[in-house]
Amino acid sequence: MLFEPFRIKNVAFANRVLRSSLGGRMAYYDGTVSPAFVHFEKRFADGGVAAIISPTISINQKRMSPLEYPSLHDDRFVKPLRHAVNEIRAGSDCRYIVQLGDTGGHSHTSIKPQIEDRISASSFFDVLYGYHNRSIKMSEEDIEAVVTDFANAARRVAEAGCDGVEITASKGYIIHQFLNPVTNRRTDKYGGSVEKRFQLLQEVVQRVRQEVGDGFLFGIRLSAKDFNWLPINIRIPWPPVIWPPRHYFIGNDLPETTYYAKRLEQLGVDYLHIDSGFGFPNPKGSPGDFPDEGLHIFVNATSYLSGKATARAAVYNLVPRPIRKAVFGFGWRFKPAANADFAAAMRRVVGIPIIANGGFQDRSVIDGALSDGKCDMVAIARPLIANPDLLKQFEKGLERPENPCSFCTLCCSHTAVFPLGCYDERRFESREDMLNQVIALCSPQAPFALTGKRLDNDHAETDL
């Protein structure tokens, strides 16, 4: 079933596998896509995926986090993106969908601290996500500005000739901060009840649809369950959570998120892309090992940004690695098709297509989720970094790739500081081979192949 074609609205997909959103430092410092961006994305298009969902592209000039990620906060980005997408799709049947997002109070990095990285639904202190000591409550004028940012960026996606747009209401980003009852303690029309917490997303959907038109493919990435207690975290909202306590430990669960799904269908959204968890990375959205090494690098790289960031790095440096992995890594484990059952729950209440994300690598797992009717398509990220030719290996009859992804999650935790690639040294003959692969993924002129082989002047592989 994996290789069966599928259609969502007026967009035809050659098979049922999408490359999920992969963020990486592949743009210029101002947010313009670069040749490295094209080089990286085209590998997956040529590898046979039906569509690529872009990195989460920022919509606000002040919150371009991390640096060197693409942005669409201005019309000047349209032409470079159009050229890039045309090159990525050239010679393949691959579609290109742009994912838009705003990190809000979970902004990871900045050259210098700035107040714009603090805005959120309410004031809260979060140990693991974001760099400020606490977020600040947005005014209604701030909220209107965010809605306008999403609408304008979506218009630019359509003007760039992309095949669709996806808004992330997941990952702990700004829309998710409004949906989550812990981070949204408002008492106005944007907070309190389930319906009011949905208000920001409703306004974003209405304005985006107005900008892109009824015929343009438009999807939402939605977290099916927040799992506020994972990973081990201290998240202190203001006003505090008194009742019900499940809001603090769970956040939204299926009763709330299936309500969101039905509302999104009523508003004219064309598909839902389902994951789970709150914050990025998290053990439910990125099922696998706790990425201790990558997070150690990240917290030290950002330690100068605030008192919280300094303390976070100090604790990480002082606590021995085995204890860090045992405490902070609580809840991190691999589960095949981790969110397929959540996708199935959504599919039971809506009639629009459902994409499932998380834990897909073995062909039987992918085919099983599809044939069991749990989802209509699957989105894959880390296993495709490890093997951009994953689908071609399936076509040869393999059940899983010869050198599979270990789901170590290091790629997710390294990407805010280093180029995107596979950082699991166990998959390579040497550290040099691993580093060569990272360079080859991102650099158009790199003299290396993904296998760690050096290329000669005729672009043939030779032993290092």
By CB atoms closer than 10 A (0-12, 13-18, 19+), residue 3 is middle
Sequence-ordered list of residues with C-beta below 8 angstroms from that of 328, at least 6 positions apart, any chain? 231, 232, 290, 292, 295
Q: Would you call 361 helix, strand, or coil by DSSP? A: coil
* Residue of 423, 410, 424, 382 lying closest to 292 (CA atoms): 410
* Residue of 420, 368, 371 lying closest to 399 (CA atoms): 368
Name all contacts of 316-325 with Cβ < 8 Å and 24+ positions apart: 321/292, 324/292, 324/296, 325/290, 325/292
The pTM is what? 0.94
Q: Would you call 103 helix, strand, or coil by DSSP? A: coil
On whether the 6-291+332-427 domain is CATH 3.40.50.1100, my answer is no
Residues in the chain with pLDDT values less than 70: 446-464
pLDDT of amino acid 452:
53
Instruction: Spell out the domain ranges in the chain.
Output: 6-291+332-427, 429-464
pLDDT of amino acid 463:
37
Q: Give strand pairing partners of 164.
A: 97, 217
Encoding tokens for residue 158?
Answer: 């359509």
Q: Which tens digits make up the pLDDT trace of 145-202? A: 999 999 999 999 999 999 999 999 999 999 999 999 999 999 999 999 999 999 999 9
pLDDT of amino acid 67:
86
Positive or negative, the Cα torsion across 394, 399, 402, 404?
A: positive
Encoding tokens for residue 135?
Answer: 């977020």
